Amino acid sequence: MKLKALVLLCFFSTGLAQTQTFWIPQFGEGGTGLRFGSTITIVNLSSEILNPARARVESFGVDGTPANLLRRVTIAGPEATSAVDLELPGLGSELVSSGSDDPSQLSLGWTRITTEDNLAVEVLFSIFDSATGQLLTSTSILPRPLTREATMIVSVDGASTVSSVAILNPPSNQETAQVTIDVFDRFGQSVGSGIIDGCEPGERVAQNLAELVPALAGLEGFLGTASIRSTVDIAVLPLRQDGIELTTQEALPAR
């Protein structure tokens, strides 16, 4: 009877395990002059020492095909790869850094982390001086939840400050994403709209809002918001760049 109970318990434990997915719409490595780098930190929130957590990290190009954007250390030395499997002890943590087959070229895409365990994830983006290796600026994000509506802050100064958005249509979707972005000034008045069309499942699109909404081009000291609406669930990452300073922003709730 005890053996039967143990088998039954194991069956239910396996059956109840649910896979959770962390989506990171921006990830990359490389560049000349200025080098872009990304680092994922994964933390096991469980304290069970005898039951380590497992996670799989995968990287993809902007077109959704597997891409070697991750760094793995082997006996022969570090190499670029598109997938890394991790095992984390209770309360343990692990780093996964970006990699590239050709570090002199900037390679961008997105990453996905899947697990059946209780994990937390943070991503750090950094820009380095390629010649000296000196860190120039960095910013961090949490993985993006999937949504069909969101709000982002828009800042444009007509010179070096640029607001952009990275959008990922997950491969689990069966439909092309059509994303409408409506921009409003600080008084809530409409400035203009733009459409990101034809983002296929698995694809990632990054768009400068001043190019998407021509009315923003040339504005000085503009501060406002943008309402983002998609026909399918997407991951949204607002970005702001001022010269070499790259800042990630939270996607705010829909209005």
Return the pLDDT at 16.
54
Per-residue pLDDT tens for 18-42? Answer: 899 999 999 999 998 999 999 999 9
Domain(s) labelled CATH 2.60.290.11 in the chain stretch across 146-248
Percentage of the chain with pLDDT > 70? 92
The CATH code for residues 146-248 is 2.60.290.11
Closest CA to 90 of 55, 54, 44: 44
Nearest C-alpha neighbor of 63 from the set 204, 168, 208:
204
CATH number at 19-141: 2.60.290
Per-residue confidence (pLDDT) for residue 244, from 0 to 100: 72
> Which pLDDT score, from 0 to 100, does residue 5 have?
44
Q: pLDDT tens across 109-138, in order? A: 999 999 999 999 999 999 999 889 999 999
| CB distance 234 to 181 below 8 Å | no
pLDDT at 149: 97
Q: What is the pLDDT of residue 13?
A: 38
Q: What is the 3-state secondary structure (H, E, C) of the chain?
A: CHHHHHHHHHHHHHHHCCCEEEEEEEEEEECCCEEEEEEEEEEECCCCCCCCEEEEEEEEECCCCECCCEEEEECCEEEEECEEEEEECCCCEEEEEECCCCCCCCEEEEEEEEECCCEEEEEEEEEEECCCCCEEEEEEECCECEEEEEEEEEEECCCCEEEEEEEECCCCCCCCEEEEEEEEECCCCEEEEEEEEEECCCCEEEEEHHHHCHHHCCCCCEEEEEEEEEEEEEEEEEEEEECCEEEECCCECCC
Gap between the Cα atoms of 65 and 120, Å rounded: 26
Residue spans of the chain under pLDDT 50: 1-15
Tell me which residue of 22, 199, 33, 26 sits closest to 108, measured CA to CA: 26
